Chains A and B, each alone.
Chain A
Amino acid sequence: MDAIILQILNGLDKGSAYALIALGLTIIFGTLGVVNFAHGALFMLGAFVAVTVRRILTLSFETIDPTRKDFLGNPLKVKTTYVEHWFGPDAGQWLIDWSVPIAVIAAIPVMALVGLAMERGLVRHFYKRSHADQILVTFGLAIVIQEIIKYFFGANPIPVPAPEIFRGSFDFGVLLGFPENAIIYPYWRLVYFAFAALVIGGVFAFLQFTTFGMVVRAGMADRETVTILGIDIDRRFSIMFALAAIVAGIAGVMYAPINSPNYHMGMDYLVLSFVVVVVGGMGSLPGAVLAGFLLGILESIASMKALIDLVPGINQVIIYLVAIVILLIRPRGLMGRKGVMED
């Protein structure tokens, strides 16, 4: 029992990442009708915003401290980061320690700009072309983004630590009445799950309770009528594209401490996120979220030793297997609507 609960918890953070990427994909597909293969690259860009922010915060200069000597007897060179120099050692350390949450704030304008540039510069010209063309051009863009990142940051994963107070794990099992050390769960993963829930809730609330969201939903349902009513729906859809980019980006920032960013993580998550979107049902936002968590947890449960002994290799294929079964018995996915992507 405790093993299953542990696996469900482990599945939550992966599921959160799937859900956030799939949510953005679905927003783009639902509003603009574009299949965005570059969405994983946006997730990856977010993770590298975290890397960049940390690098900027840890920029340092060298001073010579004449009172101390190094092991050769020369005056010791001391590295001081600029933030420590400017704000004093305590505040400076704090800023560096909290670089990931700070990167989330930095990522919002950055990803909004990237998203807008992508939509205005490229995706806009592909609304009228076939889905295959959209897939191909965004696939090309994903390769380009990935290679640019690889050029600047290299091919190796770059670790980004979480803030100090979230670094440990806590004994989750004790809360539920299990013996000690039965269910150990890292704090940061819990933070990630809470963060994902917050973002997902925020996006839904935004769409549900604001006038802007209402117009967007109306546009998703019937674009022409909304246009006839004199609303510039294209502009709003561009903003939704930027919003989807932000969601993918901050999902990537927060994921950086869990999985050290590397240039191909976008592609790795993209394939799975597409499976998630299709399982959830193309164009259905709740479906994307539901399928994201479902597949994340299933993947995690399938990697339990007892199950692997029973069915070897199940952990490697479970997601794809579920996707195939669902596509065959429920072609529209879990919560898909009629008439979406069926032309």
Chain B
Amino acid sequence: MFKGLDRNDIRLMLVVALVTLAAPLILNPFPADSAWAQFNAGYPDLMQRFVIYGIFAIGFNILFGLTGYLSFGHAAFLGVGSYAAVWMFKLLSMNVVPAVLAAMAIAGLFSLAIGWISLRRTGIYFSILTLAFAQMSYNLAYSVLTPITNGETGLQISINDPRVLDRAFGTAASDSVPYPDFFGLQMNDTASFEFFGRVFQFSVGYYFAAMLFLAAFYLALRLFRSPFGLMLRGVKTNQSRLEYTGINPRPYTLAAFVISGVYAGLAGGLLAAMDPLAGAERMQWTASGEVVLMTILGGVGTLLGPVLGAGFIKYFENILSKINDQILHQWFAFLPDGMEDFMVTLVSPFVGKGWHLTLGVLFMLVVIFLPGGLVEGFQRIGRLLARLVGRGRKPVSDDDKGGA
């Protein structure tokens, strides 16, 4: 499994695996009854989103980070994946395996068609083409394709769906709307433990998504270190030179496009598996913009960056949007009255419903000052610390070779 990877890669993989598996423990640092409990991220719903959007961003990064093709329409594949998964729930079985497989397959085919056309152009033309395709899918999903997508209401499962396989094996529940399961383990099954006043929740859904996330991360790692990955980097560095050496870059970029489409489909399928509902707004171009934000914020072209970016955005979306004026007044209660009101007025546009403002400002700061994203930020801090600690000793070489 680790053949051909150097020690740093193996260490990275192991650390990521450990953190992912222990996330319900790590992300719950504050006791449940303390005022800080709202900063806990260790509940299934949010952790699922961490890993699912992590998969989405990793896949996007395989295209944008390696080949430099900036797609503004990746949410279309996520949406198609969700629809495919929900249809599998409706037609075949509530088991998540066929749903996830179908989501990947359909998104893969869809991305093959779109990529085959869009990749004829480069630069901004490519971005506009992908954007145009995604907006087309979104508009169609809302209007003409309503029989398939159920329009504005969104596609849902109901008691009367055929679910052929479930009925054949006699596992179909008939009295209530069923929930997706993995061979009998329901996705929303959760085991809660309480230690030291902290509630740790281990949910089936999270671990199912987490295992797929680890597989996706491992594949991306192998891909980054493979000759194929090197070829994709070649496309980003200088496509014309690649052509002059007699290599046709199209098959490589198309493969990268389809791989990232399949990743997006997987993410969409998992979203549907956690909550069997698919709506067209998942395909809107703002959703495509979000995955771009995640990747850039974390660090383009690095392995860990997109995952960090996805986690960062989803965490702050969840936490900041919950903070209201009342909570702010509690925080600044130690200040004199006038100062307290002033601070609350100052901070309140950035939290609650205004958290997108924070995101926009943060994103601009990253693009302006830290083009390498959070990963570069951490590397800079690490180097700074190393210099402070190791002052007088020989300088630390920074060998990052484009990895994390």
Contacts and interface: CB of A to CB of B under 8 A. Distances in A.
Interface stretch (A78-86, A92-100, A318-326): A318-326
Interface in A308-343: 312-313, 316-317, 320-321, 323-324, 327-328, 331, 341-343
Interface stretch (B131-139, B197-205, B249-257): B131-139
B143 A316 contact: yes
B63 to A, nearest CB: 13
Interface residues of A, number: 40
Interface string B130-164: 01110110011011110000000000000000000
A189 B145 CA distance: 33
A136 B132 contact: no
A132 B68 contact: yes
Contacts of A139: 289, 292, 363
Interface in A45-62: none
A143 B296 CA distance: 15
Interface in A218-252: none
Contacts of B360: 140-144, 146-147
Interface in A80-132: 122, 125, 131-132
Given A135-B70, A317-B140, A328 B357 contact: no
B136 A321 contact: yes
A256 interface: no
A136 B123 contact: no
Contacts of B135: 271, 320
A144 B364 contact: yes
Interface residues of B, number: 40
A282 B327 CA distance: 49
A342 B240 CA distance: 11
Interface string A137-160: 101111110111011000000000
A35 B285 CA distance: 18
A274 B129 CA distance: 11
Contact of B285 (A141, A271, A321, A324): A271
Contact of B359 (A132, A143, A327, A343): A143
B70 A132 contact: yes
Contacts of A144: 357, 360-361, 364
Nearest to B131: A271
Nearest to A143: B360
A133 B363 CA distance: 11
A278 interface: yes
A21 interface: no
A148 B363 contact: no
Given A147-B354, A278-B125, A324 B117 contact: yes
A320 B132 contact: yes
Contacts of B165: none
A267 interface: yes
Given A140-B360, A147-B360, A317-B140, A341 B124 contact: yes
B133 A140 contact: no
A275 interface: yes
B29 interface: no
B121 interface: yes
B98 interface: no
B286 interface: yes
A135 B144 contact: no
Contacts of B285: 271
Nearest to A35: B124
Given A316-B143, A341-B123, A343-B123, A274 B371 contact: no
Contacts of B121: 327-328, 331
Interface in B321-367: 349, 353-354, 356-357, 359-361, 363-364, 367
A278 B143 CA distance: 26
Contacts of A275: 128, 131-132
A38 B353 CA distance: 21
A142 B117 CA distance: 29
A316 B132 CA distance: 11
B94 to A, nearest CB: 32
Contacts of B367: 133, 136-137, 140
Contacts of B38: none
B167 interface: no
A136 B290 CA distance: 11
Contact of A140 (B123, B124, B125, B363): B363
Nearest to A343: B123
Contacts of B296: 136
Given A35-B124, A147-B357, A316-B144, A324 B139 contact: no
B74 to A, nearest CB: 15
A341 B117 CA distance: 19
A131 B124 contact: yes
Contacts of B129: 323-324, 327
Given A143-B363, A324-B133, A133 B371 contact: yes
A135 B72 CA distance: 11
A133 B367 CA distance: 7
Given A143-B359, A316-B139, A267 B286 contact: yes
B380 interface: no
B364 A135 contact: no
Contacts of A140: 360-361, 363-364, 367
Interface of B: 68, 70, 117, 120-121, 123-125, 127-129, 131-133, 135-136, 139-140, 142-145, 285-286, 289, 292, 296, 349, 353-354, 356-357, 359-361, 363-364, 367-368, 371
14 contacts: A125-B368, A140-B363, A140-B367, A141-B364, A144-B360, A278-B125, A313-B145, A316-B140, A320-B139, A321-B136, A331-B120, A341-B123, A342-B123, A343-B123
Given A135-B127, A317-B139, 18 more contacts: A35-B124, A131-B124, A133-B371, A136-B367, A139-B363, A143-B357, A144-B360, A151-B357, A271-B135, A278-B124, A313-B140, A313-B143, A316-B139, A316-B142, A317-B136, A320-B135, A328-B121, A341-B124
Q: Which 5 A-B pairs have the closest CB atoms?
A: A313-B144, A143-B360, A316-B139, A147-B357, A140-B364
